[in-house]
């Protein structure tokens, strides 16, 4: 019983983890309110969740705000870029869907457009985790995110589906918004961290060194 209820016991570790998941999700929500800060908030959330929840480092909230401030400029402009690209894509998709009701060719084009939209949506999922780990100029950051979204397409599809399902869940019921963001990026990390390990930026050796055949990135 002493082991269970001790500060280092399993019960307190689980409670601390649940508290961090809730608190980081709520902090992320507040930081996203200006909309253009969705990128900086997601960068900070990924960094703090992976390091402090997945790998049990200390100080998740201090890390969140430090990363949020450090990457504010580059990530805001990246947010604007991908909101504009995805927004235009969704507008085009809605137009094709309305035309598809009267035209078979437009319906086929609409179906193909769903597949095409995976790449910009996937790049938007990659870009902020990359920024949380590596140092890039704005141009190189977004080009790298696009390259990874293509080069690791199966993982990209999973990231997009996870993000879409999490967003729909939060819109439909709202209360999951208080814990789903942190859970989502934790699931992201299962597919992103092995790639970072191959590229020389893993926090733990997810892949053997001899299996890495790609150039290392510049870790921040």
Listed by start position, the domains of the chain span 2-211
Which pLDDT value is given to residue 83?
93
Which pLDDT value is given to residue 9?
61
Contacts with 118 (C-beta within 8 Å, 6 or more apart), sequence order: 149, 153, 156, 157, 160
Q: Which residue has the higher pLDDT, 208 or 82?
A: 82
Tell me the pTM. 0.85
Q: Residue 210 — pLDDT band, cuts 50, 70, 90?
A: very low
Which pLDDT value is given to residue 207?
43
218 contacts 134 by C-beta, under 8 angstroms: yes
From 209, 207, 182, select the one nearest 50 (Cα to Cα): 182
How confident is the model over 77-121, as pLDDT tens digits? 999 999 999 888 888 777 766 765 666 665 666 667 677 888 899
20 contacts 53 by C-beta, under 8 angstroms: yes
Q: Is 115 exposed, middle or buried (0-12, 13-18, 19+ CB in 10 A)?
A: exposed
Which whole number is the average pLDDT over 36-52?
95
Per-residue 3-state assignment (H helix, E strand, C coil) for the chain? CHHHHCCCCHHHHHHHHHHHHHHHHHHHHHHCCCCCCHHHHHHHHHHHHHHHHHCCCCCHHHHHHHHHHHCHHHHHHHHHHHHHHHHHHHHHHHHHHHHHCCCHHHHHHHHHHHHHCHHHHHHHHHHHHHHHHECCCHHHHHHHHHHHHHHCHHHHHHHHHHHHHHHHHHHHHCHHHHCHHHHHHHHHHHHHHHHHHHCCCCCCCCCCHHHCCCCCCCEC
Would the pLDDT of 215 be above 50? no
Angstrom distance (rounded) from CA 199 to CA 183: 24
Angstrom distance (rounded) from CA 205 to CA 140: 25
Would the pLDDT of 13 be above 50? yes
Would the pLDDT of 184 be above 70? yes
Angstrom distance (rounded) from CA 106 to CA 19: 48
């Amino acid at each position: 019983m002493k082991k269970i209820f001790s500060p280092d016991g399993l019960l307190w570790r689980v409670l601390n983890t649940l508290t961090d998941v809730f608190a980081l999700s709520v902090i992320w929500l507040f930081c996203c309110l200006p909309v253009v800060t969705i990128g900086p908030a997601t960068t900070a959330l990924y960094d703090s969740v992976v390091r402090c929840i997945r790998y049990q480092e200390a100080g998740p909230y201090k890390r969140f705000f430090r990363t949020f401030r450090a990457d504010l400029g580059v990530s805001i402009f990246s947010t604007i870029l991908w909101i504009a690209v995805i927004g235009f894509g969704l507008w085009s998709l809605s137009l094709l869907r309305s035309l598809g009701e009267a035209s078979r060719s437009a319906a086929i084009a609409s179906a193909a457009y769903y597949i095409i939209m995976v790449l910009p949506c996937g790049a938007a999922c990659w870009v902020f985790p990359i920024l949380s780990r590596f140092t890039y100029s704005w141009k190189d950051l977004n080009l790298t995110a696009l390259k990874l979204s293509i080069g690791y397409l199966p993982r990209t599809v999973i990231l997009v589906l996870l993000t879409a399902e999490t967003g729909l869940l939060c819109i439909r019921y709202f209360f999951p918004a208080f814990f789903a963001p942190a859970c989502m990026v934790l699931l992201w990390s299962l597919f992103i961290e092995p790639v970072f390990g191959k590229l020389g930026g893993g926090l733990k050796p997810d892949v053997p060194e001899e299996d890495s055949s790609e150039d290392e990135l510049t870790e921040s």
